[in-house]
């Protein structure tokens, strides 16, 4: 899992903070949906130590094909959270995709607004690879 911090100039992987607010952005492993067997999904979570005006998270799944990670069509999803409450965990989930055997990972990035000032987007963060065998 990857973590990011709402820093002095950006929501990024650095450990600086702005106004004492730290936001952790974690990318999880893709998996077959527990609620919808036969479908797969990926998730990322956002949690901040203090309130911020808003945050936006983008998640998508990627499949390993011929040694390269390629985006899985139809899985990209963007969630805007307004406002972001302190010590609350928000989940950003990919669009469900019909399950297909293979090796996948989740990619995610985000940005935030604190005290009316937009913060630059973090670079894409990646969860660990997971081999999915569909039921």
Nearest to 90 by CA among 129, 46, 49: 46
**pLDDT at residue 8 in the model:** 27
- Take residue 21 and report the two structure tokens written for it: 């607010």
Q: What is the pLDDT of residues 92-135, one digit of tens each?
A: 999 989 999 999 999 998 888 888 888 756 778 999 999 999 87
Q: What is the pLDDT of residues 69-83, one digit of tens each?
A: 999 999 999 999 999
0.85 exceeded by pTM: no
What structural domains and CATH numbers belong to the chain? 5-132 (2.60.40.10)
**pLDDT at residue 18 in the model:** 52
Phi, psi of 50 (to 5 degrees): -140, 170
Mean of pLDDT over the chain: 83
CA distance 43 to 61: 9
Going by C-beta distance under 8 Å and a sequence separation of 6 or more, which residues neighbour residue 80? 54, 55, 56
């Amino acid at each position: 899992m990857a973590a990011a911090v709402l820093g002095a100039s950006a929501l990024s992987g650095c450990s600086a903070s702005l106004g004492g607010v730290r936001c952790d952005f974690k990318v999880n492993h893709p998996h077959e949906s527990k609620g919808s067997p036969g479908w797969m999904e990926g998730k990322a979570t956002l949690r901040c130590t203090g309130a911020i005006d808003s945050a936006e998270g983008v998640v998508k799944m990627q499949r390993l094909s011929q040694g390269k990670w390629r985006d899985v069509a139809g899985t990209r999803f963007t969630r805007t959270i307004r406002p972001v409450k302190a010590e609350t965990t928000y989940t950003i989930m990919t669009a469900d995709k019909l399950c297909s055997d293979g090796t996948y990972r989740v990619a995610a990035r985000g940005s935030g607004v604190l005290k009316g000032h937009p913060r630059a987007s973090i670079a894409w963060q990646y969860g660990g690879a997971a081999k999915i065998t569909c039921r």
